[in-house]
Every structure is written in structure tokens, then in C-alpha cells.
């Protein structure tokens, strides 16, 4: 697992260097030949090369988006109105559900519009807002997953001191710091990216204004962007992953020392949903950046298409699976949802 952490750093560094290589094509001598008309909007390619499949993707993404809105909203409502769920774990889960709604709502509606109406242009300000929310939600989710792992570590390894260590002030502060840190990180990254001049090419080979895809269009030095993104990846990807890894090492050690088989099963069940979400979340990121880049033009085009589809999986499928995983693998959530549905049917 530690090797994977090291690989993560390498993958992101290589990917960012790839962006730098794309930008370095525009040398100082070439800059004079570029028409210095700065773009006021961008064109999102999406799946424009596959017009017959766009309607299929529209239907699939629309269904997934509705599941995301309904599933995560149900979890939020259950965690608020059911007193049995007024615990740190479900507080973090409610934050994660709200985050998934915000994250998908910042990009999915525009993706659906582009698929059905062929309207692929997005204004400069619209691209900025989309990039900000995408980066902020992604950064915050990494931190929240790390906080949730630490919460499970304290609950299982120090159960007697759990109410003291993770009291209401502490877990509200943990969640608030996650949101604040993610927001600040996004402000920095988005402002540094969108201050760059984008002269000439304004075609983004992606579904959304993804920051790496946008940086490839810049006709200026992006060294500062590279440095800040490396620092950001270390702080918001690697450090939370280390917290998750060591938390589960201690959790596993504690569980294996339990004498009661019932106690072991209960401890495993409280962690299984979170661990499944972590594997899906980080597994998708690993897969996105671990794949080798093809040098062949046809192969490169296929790789770019697969990258966009994997990004779509990361942006839509993962938020859709989160409420399903937590509701199916958690008796408390299922009981709360059934209770709320029963109350609604009575009234």
C-alpha cells in the first residue's frame, strides 16, 4: 500500500509534466506567430466523435444523476431527522452526501445539455465556476474520507474514550476544516489557472472544464501551476490516503485481537462501507493516472476517449454508489430510511 502511495505521487507528477510538455510547445519564438486574441469562451468536445452513442450516454447519465440526487438527499434527511443517526460517523456521511450533490450538479447538467442539444460552448466565467466547484469538492472529499477513517480508528481502537475525543465540537470542526481547506485550495488552483492567457485554441478535449485539460491550452509559462498542483496533490491526496492506510492498519490489528467473533463482525461491518467507498474513489484515480500514454495517433485518440469515460465514471458513478453502499451495508441507515418512509405514508 505504501508503494501505491509513492506511485500516486509519481503518477500525478508525470501527468502534470505531460501538461507542461504540451504547453512548452509554445516557445517564445512561436508566441509572436500566435494571434493574440484571448478567448471569451471554451468549446467542450465531450463525445463529439461518437454522435450515435451520445443519446445513450445522455439517458444513462440522466438516470445516474437522478439516483445521485434522490439517494444522497435521502441520506441527508435521514441523518438530520433520525436521532439514532446523530453521531460523528453519520454527520460525516451527511457531509459526503451533500458534497456529492454539489460536485455532480456543477458539471452534469451542462454535460447533459451538450449531449442532447449539441451546445458545447461554455463561457470563460462559466468554466471558472465549474473548475472551482469540481476542484473544491474533490479536495474536500479526500479530506472527509480521511476524517471518516480517523473517526473509525478512534471508535474501534479507543471505544471508551471515543465520546471524549470525537465530541461534537471536534467533529464539526473537522468537517468545517475539510470544507474550508478544499475551498481555499480550489480558489488558489482556479485563480492561477484562469489568469493564464488562452490565445488561439479554445477547444477542451473533455466533458467539463477539468483543470489539466484547460492548462494544456495556455500559451504562457505554467511553472507556478505545476508547483502548486504538486503541493496540492501531496496535501489533499497523499496525506489523507496515509491517514486512511494507518487508521485501517491499527483497526485491523485491534479487530484481530478481539476474542468475540460477534465483536469482530460488528467492527468489520462499521468499516466496510467506508472502505468500499475509499477503494472506488482512489482506485479510479489510480487507474486514471497509471495507464501508459499511447504514441500512436489512433491509439492516442482511443486513450483520450477512455480517459474521458473514466473521468465520467469518477464524476458520476462514484457519487451514485456512495448512498447505495452506505444504505445496503448499514442497518442503522436502512432502519432510518424505513422509519421516514413509514412516517410519510402515515401522514
What would the pLDDT profile of 28-77 be if each residue is shown by its tens digit? 334 444 444 467 788 888 766 667 777 888 898 999 999 999 999 988 98
Q: What is the pLDDT of residues 197-208, one digit of tens each?
A: 887 678 887 888
Q: Tell me: the pLDDT tens digits for 290-318?
A: 555 544 434 444 446 666 677 777 778 88
Q: Can you tell me the distance from the alpha carbon of 110 to that of 207, in angstroms, rounded to the nearest whole number?
A: 9
Query: How high is the pLDDT of residue 38?
Result: 63
pLDDT at 209 over 80: yes
Position 98 scores a pLDDT of: 95
The pLDDT, as a whole number, for residue 36 is: 46
Strand-pair partners of 282: none
The answer to whether 97 and 333 have CB atoms below 8 angstroms apart is no
Q: In what order do the strands lie in the sheet with 121-123?
A: 121-123, 41-44, 203-204
Other Cβ atoms less than 10 A from the Cβ of 266: the count is 13
pLDDT of residue 345: 64
> What is the structure's pLDDT at 321?
87
Contact between residue 85 and residue 154 where contact means Cβ atoms under 8 Å apart:
no
Using CA atoms, how far residue 163 sits from 147, 170, 221, 272, in Å, is: 16, 10, 51, 22
User: 44 — alpha (psi -120 to 50), left (phi > 0) or beta?
Assistant: beta
41 sits in which H/E element: strand 41-44
Percent of all residues in the chain with a pLDDT value above 90, rounded to a whole number: 35
- pLDDT greater than 60 at residue 180: yes
- Rg of the chain over Cα atoms, rounded to whole angstroms, equals 22
Amino acid at each position: 500500500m505504501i508503494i501505491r502511495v509513492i506511485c500516486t505521487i509519481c503518477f500525478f507528477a508525470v501527468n502534470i509534466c505531460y501538461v507542461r510538455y504540451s504547453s512548452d510547445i509554445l516557445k517564445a519564438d512561436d508566441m509572436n506567430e500566435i494571434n493574440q486574441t484571448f478567448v471569451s469562451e471554451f468549446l467542450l468536445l465531450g463525445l463529439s466523435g461518437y454522435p450515435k452513442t451520445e443519446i445513450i450516454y445522455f439517458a444513462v447519465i440522466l438516470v445516474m444523476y437522478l439516483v445521485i440526487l434522490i439517494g444522497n438527499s435521502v441520506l441527508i434527511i435521514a441523518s438530520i431527522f433520525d436521532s439514532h443517526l446523530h453521531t460523528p460517523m453519520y454527520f460525516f456521511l451527511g457531509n459526503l452526501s451533500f458534497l456529492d450533490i454539489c460536485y455532480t450538479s456543477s458539471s452534469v447538467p451542462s454535460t447533459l445539455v451538450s449531449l442532447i442539444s449539441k451546445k458545447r460552448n461554455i463561457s470563460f466565467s462559466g468554466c471558472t465556476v465549474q473548475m472551482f466547484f469540481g476542484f473544491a469538492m474533490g479536495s474536500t472529499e479526500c479530506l472527509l474520507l480521511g476524517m471518516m477513517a480517523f473517526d473509525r480508528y478512534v471508535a474501534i481502537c479507543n471505544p471508551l474514550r471515543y465520546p471524549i475525543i470525537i465530541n461534537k465540537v471536534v467533529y464539526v470542526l473537522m468537517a468545517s476544516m475539510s470544507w474550508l481547506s478544499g475551498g481555499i485550495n480550489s480558489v488558489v488552483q482556479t485563480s492561477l489557472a484562469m489568469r493564464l492567457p488562452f490565445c488561439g485554441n479554445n477547444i477542451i478535449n473533455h466533458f467539463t472544464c477539468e483543470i489539466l485539460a484547460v492548462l494544456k491550452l495556455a500559451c504562457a509559462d505554467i511553472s507556478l501551476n505545476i508547483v502548486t498542483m504538486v503541493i496540492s496533490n501531496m496535501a489533499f491526496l497523499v496525506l489523507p490516503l496515509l491517514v486512511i492506510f494507518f487508521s485501517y492498519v491499527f483497526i485491523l490489528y485491534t479487530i484481530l485481537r478481539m476474542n468475540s467473533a460477534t465483536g469482530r463482525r460488528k467492527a468489520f461491518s462499521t468499516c466496510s462501507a467506508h472502505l468500499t467507498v475509499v477503494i472506488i474513489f482512489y482506485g479510479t484515480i489510480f487507474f486514471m493516472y497509471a495507464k501508459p500514454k499511447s504514441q500512436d495517433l489512433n491509439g492516442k485518440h482511443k486513450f483520450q476517449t477512455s480517459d474521458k469515460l473514466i473521468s465520467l465514471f469518477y464524476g458520476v458513478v462514484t457519487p451514485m454508489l456512495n448512498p447505495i453502499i452506505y444504505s445496503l451495508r448499514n442497518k442503522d441507515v436502512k432502519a432510518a430510511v424505513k422509519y421516514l418512509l413509514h412516517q410519510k405514508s402515515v401522514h
